[in-house]
Amino acid sequence: MPTVVIIGAQWGDEGKGKIVDFLTEKCDYVVRFQGGCNAGHTVVVGDEKYILHLIPSGILHKNKKCIIGNGVVLDPGGLLKEIETLKNKGIEIDNNLYIAKHCHLIMPYHIAIEEQSEKKKKIGTTKKGIGPCYTDKIARNGVRMIDLLYPEILKNKIQANLEVINFLLKNLYNAESLNAEDIFNQYMNYGDKLKKYIADTDILINEAIDSGKNVLFEGAQGSLLDIDHGTYPYVTSSNTVAGGACTGAGVSPIKINSIIGVVKAYTTRVGGGPFPTEIKDELGEYIRQKGGEYGATTGRPRRCGWLDLVGLRHSVRVNGFTGLVITKLDILDGIDKLKICVGYKYGSRILEEFPKELEILENCTPVYEELPGWKESTRGIKNYENLPDNAKKYLQLIEDSLKIKIQIISTGQKRDEIIVKESPL
Ligand code: GDP
Ligand code: IMO
Ligand code: MG
């Protein structure tokens, strides 16, 4: 099975980075295909903690090719910082990183516009310029990685875009204008530093697949944050579901062998938007503290709640998961009674499917199945048989309801704190 797509099944931060890092051992290539530095993928190797934003989480292994695909929106300044941080920790980058020519670039005016629009219409974004950059991409005004190699084209695009942006900044938002010349010089400088990584990544990836290499596709964000299938407008601006791997890397759907959904053993969400199973009392705070549920990119506290099978069923459908990974099981150790949401109650109706209407999502109440917790620590358990019986029952309920096999269970932050029931590679 040479191609595996790793997807967040909830609202992000499911532990995709840890799983990608773990599976990279058996891979040759790791590809990011959407999102940008709104992502924060934490990987712990030994005593060292790494937070990857744009660079695929496979980079921590030696000699693995890491690709930033065309579907990613890339902040060159952010990427250079990330490269420097990793290099300072002894990670080899220059021989292993490739960036698609068609990656759209996040420009200072994207961040400036988002800063202002978030004041008026609060989504609770990461303020990394993601939405405005994808807006320009779809409006066909975007600046792409390859433009950094063509100064005239770059200059003209920046000037044309700033005419509109500066009008908005001045007249709509009463904010400071930006200078085209400054941005041009800054981006020419970025181009000088990044040009060695620019490549025809679609060709690289397809050649790798055709020659039987193992290729991992690393999703960012989560399926419920998908621009089409998530809780719109409280979503990110890309297709975070499995289909995004094909468009965002230039790979045919028939070349994808398996799609793994990463599910946190409970649910978290950062930013605004409906969250039916959110726990608003001290138990929510307890989980936040124990699970270290603070944004890896923004440091914001993550909202915490019970596992939601209604949302997950939707996620299973729109992704076509072939297997599941459950992470952070250890965080539930010691909780007396656990709840899993099996339906939503709205008025007199019980809903089993994730509603499309925001109004319903915001006003429904979860229907829970209660399970007894377990007292034993599951931290670091590597063998399924050694899990407490009640933990096995918790996992079994997920497997039975979603009708998808749980292939991997993560029991801690570290690489080897993991149970592999059936390896996807
Ligand atoms: P991602 O964005 O999906 O990669 O997830 P994040 O890195 O933002 O958040 C997941 C957090 O949980 C990180 O701090 C991981 O190190 C940590 N983590 C991942 N798996 C486990 C696990 O099984 N147990 C515990 N305790 N922590 C985990
Ligand atoms: P990883 O890859 C969790 C959320 C933001 C906000 C919404 C839109 O680490 O799982 P954006 O800046 O993308 O326009 O914000 O999406 N969000 C994430 N939440 N994990 C992420 O990434 C996220 N990336 C964006 O909090 O609600
Ligand atoms: Mg994250």
- Nearest atom of ligand 1 to the alpha carbon of 17: 4
Would you tell me how many other CB atoms lie within 10 Å of the CB of residue 84?
11
* Measured distance CA(418)–CA(321) in Å, rounded: 20
Q: Give, as one character, the DSSP assignment of residue 384.
A: G
Q: Is the pLDDT of residue 33 over 60?
A: yes
Please give the annotated binding residues, written as ranges.
12-18, 38-42, 126, 140, 221, 236, 296-302, 328-330, 410-412
Tell me which ligand sits closest to the C-alpha of residue 129. Answer: 2
In 3D space, the residue among 63, 120, 127 whose CA is nearest the CA of residue 91 turns out to be 63
Distance of CA 271 to the CA centre of its chain: 14
pLDDT of residue 1: 56
Ligand 1 within 6 A of CB of 296: yes
pLDDT of residue 297: 86
**CATH assignment at residue 190:** 1.10.300.10
Residue 121 — very low, low, confident or very high, per pLDDT cuts 50/70/90?
confident
Residue % of the chain over a pLDDT of 90: 98
pLDDT of residue 232: 98
Residue 83's domain comprises 3-99+199-259
Kindly report, residue by residue over 279-304, the tens digit of the pLDDT: 999 999 999 999 999 998 889 999 99
Whether 148 and 221 share a structural domain = no
List Cα–Cα distances, 308 to 16, 48, 267, 333, in angstroms.
Answer: 18, 32, 7, 18
Ligand 2 site, CB within 6 A: 8, 11-13, 38-41, 123-126, 128, 130-131, 220-222, 225, 236-237, 270-271, 296
Whether 189 and 210 share a structural domain = no
Whether 275 and 397 share a structural domain = yes
Q: Give, as one character, the DSSP assignment of residue 221.
A: S
Tell which of 210, 227, 259 closes a domain: 259
Residue % of the chain over a pLDDT of 70: 100
Going by their DSSP bridges, the two strands 41-45 and 65-68 should be labelled as: unpaired
88 conformational bin, left if phi > 0, alpha if psi -120 to 50, beta if neither: alpha
**CATH assignment at residue 378:** 3.90.170.10
Whether 161 and 28 share a structural domain = no
Task: Give me the residue label for tokens 């609060």.
Answer: 122
Mean model confidence pLDDT for the chain: 97
Kindly report, residue by residue over 203-247, the tens digit of the pLDDT: 999 999 999 999 999 999 999 999 999 999 999 999 999 999 999
* Measured distance CA(402)–CA(399) in Å, rounded: 5
The token duo for 69 is 């695909």
| Burial classification of residue 373, based on how many CB atoms lie within 10 Å of its CB (0-12 exposed, 13-18 middle, 19 or more buried) | middle
Whether 317 and 224 share a structural domain = no
List alpha helices for 148-301, DSSP H.
Answer: 151-167, 180-194, 201-210, 243-247, 282-290
3-state DSSP call for residue 68? strand
Kindly report, residue by residue over 250-269, the tens digit of the pLDDT: 999 999 999 999 999 999 99
Indicate the residue type of 91.
I
Please give the annotated binding residues for substrate, written as ranges.
296-302
Q: Residue 70 domain-assigned?
A: yes
Buried b or exposed e, range 222-251, using 16+ CB within 10 angstroms: bbbbbbebbbeebbbbbbbbbbbbbbbbbb
Whether 236 and 302 share a structural domain = no
Q: Which one is catalytic: 53, 104, 110, 137?
A: 137
* Measured distance CA(321)–CA(402) in Å, rounded: 10
Q: Where are the beta strands (DSSP E) in 9-95?
A: 29-32, 41-45, 48-52, 65-68, 73-74
* Measured distance CA(222)–CA(235) in Å, rounded: 9
Task: Tell me whether the omega of the peptide bond preceding residue 233 falls within 30 degrees of 0, making it cis.
Answer: yes
The phi, psi pair for 64, rounded to 5°, reads: -105, 135
Query: What is the count of structural domains for the chain?
Result: 3
Task: Give me the residue label for tokens 């990857």.
Answer: 52
Q: Is the pLDDT of residue 53 over 90?
A: yes
Tell which of 171, 194, 217 closes a domain: 194
271 conformational bin, left if phi > 0, alpha if psi -120 to 50, beta if neither: left
Average pLDDT over residues 363-374: 98
Whether 92 and 225 share a structural domain = yes
Whether 217 and 180 share a structural domain = no
Whether 204 and 186 share a structural domain = no
Tell which of 143, 173, 194 closes a domain: 194
pLDDT of residue 120: 87
Buried b or exposed e, range 280-293, using 16+ CB within 10 angstroms: eeebbeebbebbeb
The phi, psi pair for 294, rounded to 5°, reads: -130, 135
Residue 226 Cα to ligand 2 midpoint, Å, equals 10
399 conformational bin, left if phi > 0, alpha if psi -120 to 50, beta if neither: alpha
Q: Residue 425 domain-assigned?
A: no
Residue 38 Cα to ligand 2 midpoint, Å, equals 6
Kindly report, residue by residue over 125-171, the tens digit of the pLDDT: 999 999 999 999 999 999 999 999 999 999 999 999 999 999 999 99
Whether 147 and 75 share a structural domain = no
Whether 169 and 205 share a structural domain = no
Q: Residue 414 domain-assigned?
A: yes
The token duo for 270 is 């950062």
CB 186 within 8 A of CB 129: no
| Burial classification of residue 147, based on how many CB atoms lie within 10 Å of its CB (0-12 exposed, 13-18 middle, 19 or more buried) | buried
Going by their DSSP bridges, the two strands 267-269 and 323-327 should be labelled as: unpaired
* Measured distance CA(118)–CA(112) in Å, rounded: 10
In 3D space, the residue among 145, 66, 151, 142 whose CA is nearest the CA of residue 103 turns out to be 145
* Measured distance CA(144)–CA(71) in Å, rounded: 11
**CATH assignment at residue 70:** 3.40.440.10
Whether 240 and 278 share a structural domain = no
